Amino acid sequence: MPFFDLTGKTAIVTGGTKGLGLGVAATYAHYGADVLITARTAADVESVTKEIGEQYIKGGNRCVGLASDSGKQGDIDRVISKAVDTFGKIDILVNNAGVSGKTAMILSDECDEENFDLVVSTNLKGVFLFAKAAAKQMAAQGGGGKIVNISSVGGLVGGKGLAAYGASKAAVISLTKTMANEFARYNITVNAICPGYVVTPLNEDIFANAEVRKKMEGRTALRRLGTIEEVAGPALAIVSDCFGYMTGACVLLDGGQTIGG
């Protein structure tokens, strides 16, 4: 069984400079893939690309980066072109870039059109545009490919104060299934990952509050928060050859939150 060997594969990871995106990108690089990471800030892209190259790559593979906005078609086209020009092909796309938006109840003034548009444009439109562009390249080059869309447990439950975020992540799950159906003829699999409460640099200040952390842990069957590694591992498995028969699936990594923990 070709367990977890990505040697010779090329992967694009959007939002790859922090949190889950960085964990996935570093894991792919460690297991042999050439990786292109994207983020909006050029300085972050440069520093993280260097970090992955120095700390995680052990073979002759490489990690490069490009500052871009995953919600803009022109930037997406630049990323696709850079990946092909640098590595010759694209085998894997991980749509990780996303925003949470404001935490606000629907009837409050803060839950407004501007916030809704920002969240949906990044979390849903960006996934649609990037997956479409990558799938076109994968189909043209032949040989198939794998697309992983990072959704959330928030797309499965109605969390208070996160209307736009939850709606966008639910739509990503639906979009994943449609893409899986349409792209199957090109041997391109499309799956979603739905993390629950996972500690990342973006939320560690929140979870540093003992009362908040205990409350969140109490909502899971495992009575603890998840780690970046516990998301990066399944993200690695999904794109390995041993998961070639899985498509249109939603991999739930929530510690048992949705089973009534």
pLDDT in tens, 50-79: 999 999 998 899 999 999 999 899 999 999
Q: Is the residue at 176 inside a domain?
A: yes
Q: Is the residue at 259 inside a domain?
A: no
Scanning the structure block, which residue is given the tokens 């076109």? 136
Measuring CA to CA, how many Å separate 164 from each of 42, 96, 125, 250? 28, 17, 13, 20
Task: Kindly report the pTM of this predicted structure.
Answer: 0.95
Catalytic residue of the set 165, 168, 197, 240: 165
Q: Is the residue at 3 inside a domain?
A: no
Catalytic residue of the set 70, 102, 169, 240: 169
On the CB side of 74, CA atoms within 13 Å amount to: 0
pLDDT at 1: 60
pLDDT in tens, 228-254: 999 999 999 999 988 999 999 999 999
Q: Is the residue at 47 inside a domain?
A: yes
Q: Is the residue at 168 inside a domain?
A: yes
Name the DSSP class of 125: I
Q: Is the residue at 201 inside a domain?
A: yes
pLDDT in tens, 16-27: 999 999 999 999
Which helix (DSSP H) or strand (DSSP E) does residue 36 occupy?
strand 34-39
Told to judge if 28 belongs to the known catalytic residues of this protein, a careful annotator would answer no
The Cα–Cα gap between 259 and 49 comes to: 38
Q: Is the residue at 257 inside a domain?
A: no
Catalytic residue of the set 152, 168, 197, 240: 152
pLDDT at 2: 63
Cα-based torsion angle of the residue sequence 183, 184, 189, 193 in order, rounded to the nearest 10 degrees: 70
**Structural domain boundaries, residue 232:** 10-252
pLDDT at 261: 61
Told to judge if 82 belongs to the known catalytic residues of this protein, a careful annotator would answer no
The Cα–Cα gap between 106 and 52 comes to: 40
Report the number of distinct structural domains present in the chain: 1
Told to judge if 165 belongs to the known catalytic residues of this protein, a careful annotator would answer yes
Q: Is the residue at 236 inside a domain?
A: yes
CATH code of 64's domain? 3.40.50.720
Measuring CA to CA, how many Å separate 99 from each of 223, 235, 256? 26, 20, 24
Stretches where the chain sits below pLDDT 50 are none
